[in-house]
Structure 1
Amino acid sequence: MTAWHTPIVVHPLAPEGGRHVTVRGQAVGLAHSDQDLVRLLRSAGLGEADTTLDDPHLVEWRGEGPHVWRTTGPDEP
């Protein structure tokens, strides 16, 4: 029996900016915002993607927390 994994993984911040996204182990692109993420997930066939972003059974946010798309410097909010 194989271990169960979340079907969507949002990876840690990439050096070039944004976060790489995989669906069922397949790379689907680089997202720079929640809107980008929803677009990528819809393109991958997940039509109700915008309602699943906060479901830990479907989306695993690695590294930075959910909805974090860039690092902030000491003077940035």
Structure 2
Amino acid sequence: MLIVFPFTVLMVVSSIHCQKINLVPGNFATDKASSTLCFNPCTLKLGDKECKTICLNKTYKDGSCIGFGNPPSFKYCCCTK
């Protein structure tokens, strides 16, 4: 029990923190939506520079913090192929 509980908590936090974002139709052209990956909300520690580095390490061409919503209220790190 002492081993299972911390492992379960770690898995839940990990899955929420790295959860992929489904793009809302209309934010990107339809041919780009399938080649775009958005994840982790951008923060003071995760900005455009860090986002681009993560995307390049994931073999994407570029990455930046993109706002979602109308008006944009949340920015997520998005990678493009």
> Structure 1-normalised TM-score?
0.31
> Structure 2-normalised TM-score?
0.30
Greater fraction helix: 2
Larger Rg: 2
Could you say which structure has the greater relative contact order, defined with CA pairs below 8 angstroms and 6 or more residues apart?
Answer: 1
